[in-house]
Structure 1
Amino acid sequence: MFKANSFLDVIKHLVVIGIIVALFIVGFFYFYLPSATNHGESISVPRIVGMQLPDAEVLLDDQNLRYYVNDSSYSSDMKPYTILTQDPAPGAKVKENRKIYISVNMKNPPMIKMPKLIDGSVKNAELILKSYDLKIGKKTYVPDLQENAILKQFVNGREVKPGELVPKGSVVDLHIGDGLGNTEFEVPDVVGMPVDEASVVLVGQGLQVGNIFYDASSTEPDGTVVKQRPFAEVGAKIRVGELVDLWLAGEEPIQRID
Structure 2
Amino acid sequence: MFKVNSFVDVLKHLAIMATIVAVLVMGFFYLYLPSTTNHGESIPVPQITGMQLPDAETLLEDQNLRYFINDSSFNSGKKPFEILTQDPAPGEKVKQDRKIYISVNMKNPPMIKMPRLIGGSVKNAELILKSYDLKKGNITEVPDLQQNAVLKQFVKGREIKPGEMIAKGSVVDLHVGNGLGDTEFEVPAVVGMPVDEASVLLVGQGLQIGNIIYVQGSDQRDGTVLKQRPFAEVGAMIRKGEFVDLWVAGQEQVLGIE
TM-score bracket relative to the smaller structure: 0.7 to 0.9
List 4+ stretches of structure 1 deviating above 6 A. Answer: none
Q: TM-score when scaled to structure 1?
A: 0.73
The whole-number CA distance in structure 1 between the counterparts of 2:36 and 2:102 is: 29
Matched with 1:218 is none
Helix, strand or coil: the match of 2:153?
A: strand
Q: After superposition, where does 1:189-204 map in structure 2 within 5 Å?
A: none
The whole-number CA distance in structure 2 between the counterparts of 1:186 and 1:145 is: 15
Report the CA distance shift for 1:32/1:187 in structure 2 as closer, same or farther (over 3 A). same
The whole-number CA distance in structure 1 between the counterparts of 2:51 and 2:243 is: 61
- Alignment partner of 1:63 is 2:60: no
Do the aligned partners of 2:207 and 2:241 also contact (CA within 8 Å) in 1? no
- Alignment partner of 1:6 is 2:5: yes
Matched with 2:123 is 123
Deviations for 1:99-153, whole angstroms, at most 9, x for unmatched residues? 1111010000000100111111011000111111101010001111110000110
After TM superposition, give the deviation of residue 239 of structure 1 in Å. Answer: 2.3
Matched with 1:36 is 36
Deviations for 1:29-68, whole angstroms, at most 9, x for unmatched residues? 2211222221111111111110100000011111111111
Matched with 1:187 is 186
The whole-number CA distance in structure 2 between the counterparts of 1:154 and 1:131 is: 18
Of stretches 18-27 and 109-118 in structure 1, the one that deviates more from structure 2 is 18-27
Q: Which runs of 5+ in 2 are unaligned?
A: 189-204, 210-229, 245-258
Do the aligned partners of 1:187 and 1:230 also contact (CA within 8 Å) in 2? no
Deviations for 1:70-117, whole angstroms, at most 9, x for unmatched residues? 111101111000000111111111111111111010000000100111
Matched with 1:215 is none
Do the aligned partners of 1:210 and 1:243 also contact (CA within 8 Å) in 2? yes
Matched with 2:87 is 87
**How many residues of Structure 1 are paired with residues of Structure 2 in the alignment?**
207
The whole-number CA distance in structure 2 between the counterparts of 1:102 and 1:144 is: 51
Instruction: Give me the CA root mean square deviation.
Output: 2.6
Matched with 2:101 is 101
Deviations for 1:213-246, whole angstroms, at most 9, x for unmatched residues? xxxxxxxxxxxxxxxx97572x3222243489xx
Matched with 1:203 is none
**% same residue:** 66
- Alignment partner of 1:170 is 2:170: yes
Q: Which runs of 5+ in 1 are unaligned?
A: 190-206, 212-228, 245-258
Write the letter of the residue equivalent to 1:24.
L
After TM superposition, give the deviation of residue 20 of structure 1 in Å. Answer: 2.1
The whole-number CA distance in structure 2 between the counterparts of 1:91 and 1:78 is: 23
The whole-number CA distance in structure 2 between the counterparts of 1:60 and 1:175 is: 50
After TM superposition, give the deviation of residue 27 of structure 1 in Å. Answer: 1.2
Do the aligned partners of 1:81 and 1:105 also contact (CA within 8 Å) in 2? yes
Helix, strand or coil: the match of 2:141?
A: strand
Helix, strand or coil: the match of 2:35?
A: helix
